[in-house]
A and B are shown apart, each in its own frame.
Chain A
Amino acid sequence: MSAHIRTDYAQSDQLFASRASVIAYAALGVLLVAAPFLIESYYLSQLVFVLIYAIVGVAMNILSGQAGQVSIGHAAFLAIGAYSAAIAQKYGVPLPVYLVLAGAFTGLIGYLVGLPALRLHGIYLAIATLAFAFIVEEVLARWESVTHGNEGLMLAAPNVFGMKLGTNGFYYLCLGVTVVVMLAAINIIRSPTGRAFLAIRDSETAARSMGIDTARYKTSAFAISAAITGVAGVLYAHKLSFISPEMFSLAVSIDFVMIIIIGGVLSLRGAVFGAIFMIMVDPMLIVVKDKLPQITDAAMHGIGLGEPIIASIQAGVLRVVNAPGLKSLIFGLIIILFIIYEPMGLDGRWQRVKAYCKQFPLARQRSARPQRMFLKSERR
């Protein structure tokens, strides 16, 4: 990875690394604002899910990437946010209010969950968060007077100060929340709190000996992460317009861990890349499934094969692309390959591509080799 050369302490506090990145982000911002006018609502819907997952990715990044704590129970925080939204909406609370309230409430729960994190590490912490997720799922299923149990809850269309949000309006709401969450996360990371998180991640003992109150920072990492996930839960509930306990299962928590593993644990950019991957691979595989038979058909006619051969090959192609479970298989394969060949995630790849372009004729494979590997949370 290329080194950052800084000549002034103030540089490490800058929001943007360079003028070029300001321009790049401004361009991205313009594109995202213009998106509803450029793409069909099916793709816009994918984008909304990407934004929601990116928000969760940011939450996961703060907890795991920055503070080095593991959680495989984040679906529970999403659920708490989602149910808070559904219940608040029933009592006529306006959306901006319950968006904040749900975040705060989930943050409080996150703080409580963070308490065991003071004593637990690594895999034990993972099990504790997993247990928490099961408890929440069970509570949602049993507390029928409030949550309607397994029957689930329907949400009305999101409503901001008397205005019903349509597809585009909701997209802008998600985009706005994502930008706010992103900026907040960047600010946390470059603040003393964020520095403390890093110190705890790299070595708890060293951090403590430097005078960092590890208990406080570990619980606050959980609280912040949970609060952000709770906000994402509100958006998620509105996007799906129906929620039930089974929608917040272990699989969803694993999805969230995957966001940062695939995207890259070290940067917030990774959260966005991971979210894009998790949401968009399935629709892309569907496109392949739909288009492949036409393509092979055209190709075979192109090279002039006989009709009977084409028909039999075509039947085979159809059978393969329509085989049940094929998509999951491919998805799993992609992930395994990723973890083997790109442990730094999509963001790591992105950084290398950037570095390669920058140093073009001089770039060497070895210059991209990471100097040290991350994930030391196990170390005391």
Chain B
Amino acid sequence: MKTTLLSTAAALALCGLAAQPASAQFKTQGITDTEIVIGTHMDMSGPIKSWGVPATNGMKLAVEQINASGGINGRKLRLVSEDDGYDPKKAVLQTQKLIELDKVFAIVSAMGSATTLAPMPLVQAAGLLHLFPITAAEFTFKMDPSKPEDRLKFNMFSPYYDTMRLGIKWVIENKGFKKPCIVYQDDEMGKNFTDAYTDQLKDLKIPEVTKVSFKRGATDFNSQVARMKADGCDLVALGSVVRESIGITTVAKKLGWDVAFVVSSPSFVPDFPDLGKEATEGIYGVGQTEIFYSDTAKGEVKDFIEAYRKSFGIEANQQATAGYNGAMVFAYFAKMAGKNLTTESMMAALESGKVFDDIFGGAPISFSKDNHLGVSAAVIGQIKNGRWTTIAKNQSYKTEK
């Protein structure tokens, strides 16, 4: 009896409530006379915590500095950060918590592809901004003209495709290589790299030479390197992350093969020359921001490194800049939006095309009405004496030489 009763009740309720009222398109919350609340969720305890912890620290430091210098048009910035453990289920719940309980003005610099994509529709349905996630997934900035809520998405993380294409283009045009090859990890990231390789060579009208792959987690690269050597490659693009990049360059060195390498953003980190030692000397790399070292840093970067060490007791790294920049870019455009800060005025400020330059010598960041990916340029570096040295700034594969 109870079951029929229950199911009838459920069915009735289902009919009555199925049609959800259309939510307001844009909504403003989390702004008081004294405060702006923003929320983020990153992985602080799961598989990508080596990104999540420093990036959260970077954000906290940025918020501290923004508030110390008077806040945003008289309002203090308050950051609520959650640890999603790289679990999309937790990310969804935490995003709802941030929206409903903390009443955040925007979600800023949430991390990871699955963990941003699952909760993103909730943010949009609530009419709130989803800003600068630390992932290059296309969904986070590509706009569907038929969906007005897509205007709420902004991203400024360089896609792997872009950095790899630029790397190949710049090195070939400036150093005159003739037979570029690519070795890549056989997964989605690797696919971005091979697409970049194919498209860029087509653009330069150079025939493709050798494309070899390896499985994620591989440790032996002898066959791949031997094959590229036999095919006479003079430039090798590395579609790999640090450990594998080191493995490949070390094998090349061992085989006595003197060839040029170019790496993209996943390997454009200080760890690469630190761990790869002399095998990495002379390698070209492309990334979003310049790589800094605490003993040679100057000016604002030096202050950043010192403040970071003071606050968290550890050395700042590249990942920290991603979070730091997220909060700084937010503050820059929120300031521009003026005292009457709303989601609409913030969007207008973001889409104004005004350029933000970060303290790390990174690519300028600007958005427009039809482009919500705020970064189109990157930095080119080369490893000299075991350290990344910037050799060209503000480069893009889209511009002519």
Contact = CB atoms under 8 A, between A and B. Distances in A.
A175 B9 CA distance: 11
B163 interface: no
A327 B90 CA distance: 12
Interface in A159-199: 160, 163-169, 172-173, 175-176, 179, 183
A49 B18 CA distance: 19
Main SS of chain B's interface residues?
helix
Interface stretch (B112-120, B199-207, B353-361): B112-120
Interface residues of A, number: 49
Interface residues of B, number: 48
B9 A29 contact: yes
A293 to B, nearest CB: 13
A296 interface: no
A242 B3 contact: no
Interface in A67-116: none
B286 to A, nearest CB: 22
B49 interface: yes
Contact of A179 (B6, B137, B187): B6
A154 B114 CA distance: 11
B20 A166 contact: yes
B45 A164 contact: no
A150 to B, nearest CB: 3
A320 B355 CA distance: 38
B309 interface: no
Contacts of A151: 137, 188
Contact of B14 (A45, A173, A251, A325): A173
Contact of A247 (B3, B18, B114): B114
Contacts of B45: 324-325, 327-328
Contacts of B3: 179, 183
Contacts of B101: 42
A343 interface: no
B255 interface: no
Interface in B13-58: 13-14, 17-21, 44-46, 49, 52-53, 56
B310 interface: no
B244 interface: no
A168 B17 contact: yes
Nearest to B18: A169
Interface string A21-56: 010011001100100100011100110010000000
A49 B89 contact: yes
B220 to A, nearest CB: 20
A339 B118 CA distance: 32
B18 A164 contact: yes
Nearest to B116: A242
A282 interface: yes
A149 interface: yes
B222 to A, nearest CB: 25
A36 B17 contact: yes
Nearest to A33: B9
Most buried by A among B5, B10, B94: B10
B274 interface: no
Given A160-B18, A169-B20, A242-B88, A33 B49 contact: no
A175 B3 CA distance: 12
A286 B188 CA distance: 33
B30 to A, nearest CB: 15
A179 to B, nearest CB: 6
A316 interface: no
Q: Which 3 A-B pairs have the closest CB atoms?
A: A166-B20, A150-B188, A324-B44
Interface of A: 22, 25-26, 29-30, 33, 36, 40-42, 45-46, 49, 141, 149-152, 154, 160, 163-169, 172-173, 175-176, 179, 183, 239-242, 244, 246-247, 251, 279, 282-283, 286, 324-325, 327-328
24 contacts: A22-B2, A26-B2, A36-B17, A45-B92, A46-B93, A149-B188, A152-B114, A154-B117, A163-B18, A164-B20, A166-B18, A166-B19, A168-B17, A179-B6, A179-B10, A241-B121, A242-B120, A242-B121, A242-B139, A282-B93, A283-B93, A286-B82, A286-B97, A325-B45
Interface of B: 2-3, 5-7, 9-11, 13-14, 17-21, 44-46, 49, 52-53, 56, 82-83, 85, 87-90, 92-94, 96-97, 99-101, 113-114, 117-118, 120-121, 137, 139, 187-188, 191
